Amino acid sequence: MNRLFLGVSFLVAIILLISCQSKTQAVTTKVEQSTTRAMPIDSNGIGEVVKTPEEWKSILTAEEYRILREKGTERAFSGKYWDNKEKGMYHCAACSLPLFDSYTKFKSGTGWPSYYQPVATENVREYKDNAYGMVRTEVTCGRCDGHLGHVFDDGPEPTGLRYCINSASLKFEKTGK
């Protein structure tokens, strides 16, 4: 009888241990996921823009809101800047932060505007994105956290990066000739 009691007690202890471990892992995963999108403390001097969804809707078009605030994407070859060859600066459509210089724009063949580097590293943020069964790196505005697109490691020199950005997340300011 003692052996049976010890065996059952041991089995119950193992089940409880496994149960507690899986609950701890689930909580840890939820905490990691919830902090992934947290806004970092702004020490880079570019300021931070935080608005309610209603405030964003009042200043953005429906398409800009869908992309910048809801992480949408536009169809390839449909955005206004994918084939833009003019010289100038591409700013965030939500908060006007300078993001990409036309000097770093290149033809990627993807149908979205592509750049090999941002104007300044602090002007964009990068987050791990596992949506839709893919592992990618999401790019957001460094000031307002608006979704811009994704960055990939198949770009040209000197960085080897391809910032694949939605036109609707950008406003272009032409400079000179």
What is the CATH code of the structural domain delimited by 53-174? 2.170.150.20
pTM, two decimals, is 0.73
Give the pLDDT of residue 112: 97
What is the SS3 assignment for 66?
Answer: helix
In the chain, helix, strand, coil percent, each to 5?
35, 25, 45
Give the pLDDT of residue 46: 76
Q: For this structure, is 141 an active site residue?
A: no
Give the pLDDT of residue 117: 98
Domain ranges in the chain?
A: 53-174
Which is the catalytic residue, given 92, 95, 144, 164?
A: 164
Which residues fall within 8 angstroms of residue 170, CB to CB, at 6 or more apart? 81, 90, 91, 92, 93, 99, 100, 113, 148
Low-confidence ranges of the chain (pLDDT < 50): 5-6, 12-43
